[in-house]
Structures are given as structure tokens and as C-alpha cells.
């Protein structure tokens, strides 16, 4: 109103009328064009991307994939999006993360082997640096170039030098554990040589952690603060939420430790059977699917004493608490995005980085009595009483029996290239998903697919060169058409996926799976499986299908040549054959001796001895 009065005083009446007409016309033009401008801006705005990676979480550990563990927040994302049942990662942590962030094979990106296990014949070879090398461009760097804020919290495991940390590889903000694992309560690490975990925050190495630090909570708090710091500037964000949970040691607050007391005393076989039943009912797994064989060195829980079953069950109780606590904090992040009006424009991606952990990592790290690391473990990780499990200084993992339950219905677990080591559950929701909400897809997907898919979502492309260097070609396929409901899989029957880690190797092409593993977890020779009829890998068809085996081996040779795969001359599993008992079939009720119950004669034929 003040502006109008000033105009009237400053101009003669004839000019005022012309000016009023001009102002009115401009106002009408603005009124007419404003909605279309807003609409255009809204249509052009890229979606946020929230990528939630759980560490060592199994295929069957979410309610949406058949678990009894209560995961309402993960399940809500599944109900609002789509679940993928044929999604593959790598068999261990850092190779998966390298593939995720680079979109290229691990033998090219620098994680041809884990840094912790680089073999003598791999040392000094390009592609085996043990960190994410500078031959690749990263997803956060390319998304940043496309106009995104890029944030990371949680586990990095891709290098510790200043040019290798998250801030140097494309992240604007970060709060990161650079190691592969560690305490959830403090900076304590596992060996005498490396007693402290290394953290960075916004590109600076931390001397200490926040006073109220608990990994899963703190990572969530930090991510929320990063998102809030740039709210209102109109830019989308890429949030890489790389949780430690539920990787061992199973550390969690006391009020999360006793939510499943006694529930797992029934044993791993019963839990696997119950999970498979729910998976079939949900449509996750086809009717008629068999469970994989129980590991031959794992006992039938029925033959264990009650106290032993209770102690082993308590380990699974803690693991379930870890998953539920993780779900709780993911729910906090989702709720915050709803509160600030960003949920509807956010793509959520949820998956585990590899199979569940069945190996006793602490035993591998601590070694034998009389060694420095055994002494360190006995001092720094001394809280061994079951009542202290979950506290600082305790170290609990749940073992191969429960890892198999986490990977229902598949065979084996992390570190191995059986389905239980490389196959995981995947949830995707958000504006890119046009499929029916709550639907299930069985297309063959791979962690390398995230790079081309997210670049498509962001409206950008993968460059041929980056910072003056020619980039390796992506090995993944975009999911754009799959998410839109225009295709069921990004792959044809001719496309293959391949893995090699620690000398274990595999290749999937169509429904067929080629596999070589160290004895006794494998045969020390090539095995062949049809996953369409045998997802649990129970029947080796190599002898029955020699032509298919030959064709698959030709694809393997192509993979080796294309990616400079060097089979390691040393492996953490090289002596496993001598450490495990001979492999034997898993036949229910054998040997009968331990299952036969006391004979009870007919009552009418019972008598006291004659005097």
C-alpha cells in the first residue's frame, strides 16, 4: 500500500493511469506464469537419495523378508516401495563398498582383495592397492558435480590416508569410522599393533569421540544435523548411511538386550524353518524351496544340553536387539525427513553389505595364548560373562549356526561365494519407483548397478574421463526401467555376474551358478548349480552338465581377462581343510543312536522282579 501511495504522489494523473495499467498487466502476467514456473521448478528438482547399508545383516533378518525380528521402520519402507529377492553384493565388506561407490569391478578399483588379506602375489599390482584407488570416480563426486550435497556417516573401510578418506572422495560432510569394525562405545580396536580405531569428521582426524557416543545413535544424529545445516538452499542431497550394525561385537544399550529372552533357545533349525515358511507365504521364495544343508560341523540343537542352548540363544538375542536398535534409528531419520517435508522427494535404498558373519573374527584376531594380540584381547576385551555381553569391553559374535539362520534359505555366509555369502535383501522406495507399492521383484540385480541408476536419477551421466584420467567402464546396469515397472530385470540371460575373493570364485549367468571354494566349505574344484530349482545349492551338477560347465568356464575366463583377476597364492582359508572335520551329508535323524528315545514296554507287561 505504501508503494501505491508513493506512485500516486510522484506521477501526474495521466501517467498514473498508464502506470497502473502496466503494473496491473505485470501482476496478472506474474499470477498467470507463477504456477507454471513453480511446477517447472518442482519437476526439475532432483530427488534426494538416502542409501542405508547395514553391516553383515543377513537376507532373512528383516520382517519384510521373513524374520521374527521386529523391524517396523524397514518394513514400512518395503510396504511403500519394492523388495528385490535376487540382489547381489560381494562376499565381504570393503569389496562391496568399493563396487557400490565406483561402479566397477573390485579388481580394478583397488579392492581386488581386502587390505587385511592382500596375498604376496597381489602386492604392488594395480587394482590390489587395498584402498579405493584414484583410477575410479566415485558416486558422491559425480553427484556433487550434478548439484547434490553429499553426506556420509558410518563405516568407510576404503583407505585411511588423507587422499583416501571420505572428504577426499566426494563427500561434503562426514562422520566416519575408517576401520572395518570396532567398538560401538569408544575408539578401542582389536590388535596391539593397531589399538585405536580411526575416525574422521568433515575431513579431519578425530582425537576423541563425543561424550555420549554410541555408534548407531551418533551416526543418525550426525546425518540429521548435516541435512538440516543446508536446508532451504534448494539443493538435493545424497546421504550415505553406512552403519556398523549389526557387525560384531554385539554392543548395545541395556534396554535393547532383553527383548527376545528365551526366544532362541529352540535353536537355529527351528528358526530357519519358521523363516522359510514365512518367506514362501510372502512370495519372497518359491513354494517348494528347500533349506540349505545345516553346516556339517554345526550340531543339531536338539542334542545340546539346555544350558548350552540358552547361552547360544542369548547370542542371537543380542543380535536381534542390534537389528531392532538399527531399525529404531533408521526410523528416526525417516521421521525427520517427513517432519521437514523431504520424505516424498527422497529415494530410499536399504541393503546389507554381504552375507551374515559366521566366522569367529575375534578368535582370528586374538590368535593363540602367548601372543601379543591374545594378551591385548584379554586386557581390552575382558568382559566375557554373559551378563556383561553388550557392555564396553565385551566381544560377542553369534557363530555359523545363527549366520545360516540369518541367510535363510541359502548356503553358507560371509567370506564365501555360495549364495549365503553374496546374496542379500534389497528395498527401494521413493519417487523413482512406479511399481505397485509393497511389490516383490525377482530380477537379477547387483551392487554395481547403483552407480548408473543413481546417476540416471540425478539426471547426469557417467563420464569417459574424470580429472584428466580415462575412467574404467561401469559393470553395472541401470534399474530405471525396472523401477518404473517397464522391465523385470536389467539383465539378459547372456549377462553374467562374477566374484573372486580370498581365492573363492563364482559366476552367475541366467539361472546357472558356477562356484569354486576352498575345502571343506567347497570341493577345491568347480561346482555347478541351477538356482532356479536349487537356490540352496544342494545338488552339484558339474558331472551331469559338462557342456554347461564348459560354457560357464569360458565366461569365467572372460571375466578374469577383462578385470586382471589374480588368484591369491595365500588365503585366510588355506588351512581350513585341516581345521574342520571331514564333510558329511546332513540327513535328518542320523545317526539314529542319539535320537532314539528310551524304550517303554506295554504297561500290562511290566513286573517287579521275583524273589
Confidence at 398, pLDDT banded by 50, 70, 90: very high
Residues 335-355: tens digit of each pLDDT: 999 999 999 999 999 999 999
- When the pLDDT of each residue in the chain is averaged and rounded to a whole number, the result is 93
Give pLDDT, residue 587: 87
| 3-state helix/strand/coil string of 179-216 | CCCCCCCCCECCCCCCCECCEEECCEECCCCCCCCCHH
Q: Which of 257-261, 501-505, 587-591 has the lowest mean pLDDT?
A: 587-591
Residue % of the chain over a pLDDT of 70:
93
Average pLDDT over residues 416-432: 98
Q: How far apart are CA 356 and CA 54, in angstroms?
A: 10
Confidence at 101, pLDDT banded by 50, 70, 90: very high
Query: What is the H or E stretch that residue 557 is in?
Result: helix 546-563
Q: How far apart are CA 330 and CA 71, in angstroms?
A: 10
Residues 523-582: tens digit of each pLDDT: 999 999 999 999 999 999 999 999 999 999 999 999 999 999 999 999 999 999 999 999
> Which residue's C-alpha cell is 576352498?
518
Q: Which of 218-227, 316-325, 588-597 has the lowest mean pLDDT?
A: 588-597
Please indicate whether residue 448 or residue 29 has the higher confidence score (pLDDT).
448
Confidence at 586, pLDDT banded by 50, 70, 90: confident
Q: How far apart are CA 7 and CA 23, in angstroms?
A: 11
58 vs 23, 239, 323, 518, CA distance in Å? 65, 22, 10, 22
Q: How far apart are CA 158 and CA 138, in angstroms?
A: 12
The residues facing 349 across adjacent strands are 51, 428
Q: What is the dihedral of CA 333, 334, 339, 343, to 10 degrees?
A: 130
pLDDT of residue 182 exceeding 70: yes
Q: Sign of the CA dihedral 302, 308, 314, 315?
A: negative
Confidence at 30, pLDDT banded by 50, 70, 90: very low
Residues 444-500: tens digit of each pLDDT: 999 999 999 999 999 999 999 999 999 999 999 999 999 999 999 999 999 999 999
Q: In 386-494, which ranges are continuous DSSP H helix? A: 399-406, 419-422, 450-458, 480-483
Predicted structure pTM score: 0.92
User: Would you say 55 and 155 are in contact if contact means Cβ atoms under 8 Å apart?
Assistant: yes
pLDDT of residue 10 exceeding 50: no
Give pLDDT, residue 44: 59
User: Would you say 527 and 515 are in contact if contact means Cβ atoms under 8 Å apart?
Assistant: yes
Residues 271-292: tens digit of each pLDDT: 999 999 999 999 999 999 999 9
Q: Is 552 helix (H, G, I), strand (E, B) or coil?
A: helix
Q: How far apart are CA 502 and CA 523, in angstroms?
A: 15
Measured distance between the N- and C-terminal CA atoms of the chain, rounded to whole angstroms: 122
C-alpha cell belonging to residue 407: 541367510
Amino acid at each position: 500500500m505504501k508503494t501505491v501511495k508513493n506512485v500516486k504522489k510522484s506521477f501526474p494523473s495521466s501517467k498514473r493511469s498508464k502506470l497502473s495499467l502496466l503494473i496491473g498487466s505485470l501482476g496478472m502476467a506474474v499470477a498467470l506464469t507463477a504456477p507454471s514456473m513453480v511446477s517447472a521448478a518442482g519437476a526439475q528438482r532432483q530427488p534426494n537419495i538416502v542409501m542405508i547399508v547395514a553391516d553383515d545383516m543377513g537376507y532373512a533378518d528383516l520382517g519384510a523378508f521373513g524374520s521374527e525380528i521386529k523391524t517396523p521402520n524397514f518394513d514400512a519402507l518395503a510396504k511403500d516401495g519394492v523388495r528385490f529377492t535376487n540382489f547381489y553384493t560381494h562376499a565381504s565388506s570393503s569389496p562391496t563398498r568399493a563396487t557400490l561407490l565406483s561402479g566397477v569391478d573390485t579388481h580394478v578399483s583397488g579392492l581386488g582383495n581386502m587390505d587385511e588379506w592382500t596375498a604376496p602375489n597381489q602386492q604392488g599390482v594395480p587394482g590390489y592397492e587395498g584402498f579405493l584407488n584414484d583410477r575410479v570416480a566415485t558416486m558422491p563426486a559425480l553427484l556433487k558435480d550434478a548439484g547434490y550435497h553429499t553426506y556420509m556417516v558410518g563405516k568407510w573401510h576404503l583407505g585411511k590416508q588423507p587422499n583416501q578418506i571420505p572428504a577426499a572422495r566426494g563427500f561434503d560432510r562426514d562422520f566416519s569410522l575408517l576401520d572395518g569394525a570396532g567398538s560401538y562405545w569408544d575408539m578401542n580396536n582389536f590388535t596391539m599393533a593397531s589399538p585405536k580405531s580411526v575416525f574422521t569428521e568433515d575431513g579431519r582426524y578425530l582425537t576423541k569421540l563425543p561424550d555420549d557416543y554410541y555408534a548407531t545413535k551418533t551416526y543418525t544424529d550426525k546425518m540429521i544435523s548435516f541435512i538440516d545445516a543446508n536446508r532451504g538452499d534448494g539443493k538435493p542431497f545424497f546421504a550415505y548411511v553406512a552403519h556398523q550394525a549389526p557387525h560384531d561385537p554385539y554392543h548395545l544399550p541395556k534396554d535393547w538386550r532383553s527383548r527376545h529372552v528365551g526366544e532362541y533357545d529352540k535353536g537355529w533349525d527351528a528358526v530357519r524353518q519358521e523363516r522359510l515358511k514365512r518367506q514362501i507365504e510372502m512370495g519372497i521364495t518359491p513354494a517348494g524351496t528347500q533349506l540349505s544343508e545345516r553346516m556339517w560341523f554345526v550340531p543339531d540343537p536338539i542334542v545340546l544340553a539346555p544350558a548350552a542352548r540358552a547361552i547360544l540363544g542369548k547370542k542371537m538375542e543380542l543380535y536381534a536387539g542390534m537389528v531392532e536398535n538399527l531399525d529404531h534409528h533408521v526410523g528416526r531419520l525417516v521421521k525427520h525427513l517427513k517432519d521437514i517435508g523431504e520424505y516424498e522427494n527422497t529415494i530410499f535404498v536399504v541393503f546389507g553389505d554381504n552375507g551374515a558373519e559366521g566366522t569367529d573374527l575375534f578368535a582370528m584376531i586374538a590368535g593363540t595364548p602367548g601372543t601379543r594380540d591374545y594378551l591385548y584381547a584379554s586386557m581390552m576385551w575382558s568382559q566375557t560373562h554373559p551378563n556383561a555381553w553388550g557392555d564396553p569391553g565385551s566381544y560377542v559374535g553369534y557363530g555359523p549356526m545363527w549366520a545360516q539362520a540369518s541367510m535363510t534359505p541359502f548356503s553358507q555366509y560371509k567370506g564365501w561365494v555360495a549364495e549365503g555369502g553374496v546374496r542379500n535383501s534389497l528395498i527401494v522406495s521413493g519417487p523413482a519407483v512406479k511399481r505397485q507399492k509393497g511389490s516383490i521383484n525377482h530380477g537379477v540385480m547387483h551392487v554395481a548397478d547403483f552407480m548408473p541408476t543413481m546417476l540416471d536419477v540425478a539426471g547426469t551421466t557417467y563420464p569417459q574421463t574424470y580429472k584428466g584420467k580415462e575412467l574404467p567402464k561401469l559393470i553395472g546396469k541401470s534399474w530405471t526401467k525396472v523401477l518404473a515397472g517397464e522391465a523385470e530385470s536389467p539383465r539378459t540371460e547372456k549377462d553374467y555376474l562374477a566374484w573372486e575373493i580370498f581365492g573363492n570364485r563364482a559366476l552367475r549367468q541366467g539361472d546357472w551358478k558356477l562356484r569354486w571354494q576352498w575345502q571343506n566349505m567347497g570341493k577345491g574344484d568347480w561346482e555347478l548349480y541351477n538356482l532356479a530349482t536349487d537356490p540352496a545349492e544342494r545338488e552339484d551338477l558339474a558331472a551331469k552338465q559338462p557342456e554347461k560347465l564348459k560354457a560357464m568356464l569360458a565366461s569365467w575366463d572372460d571375466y578374469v581377462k577383462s578385470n586382471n583377476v589374480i588368484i591369491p597364492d595365500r588365503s585366510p582359508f588355506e588351512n581350513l581343510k585341516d581345521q574342520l572335520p571331514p564333510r558329511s551329508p546332513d540327513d535328518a535323524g542320523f545317526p539314529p543312536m542319539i535320537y532314539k528315545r528310551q524304550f517303554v514296554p506295554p504297561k500290562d507287561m511290566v513286573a517287579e522282579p521275583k524273589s
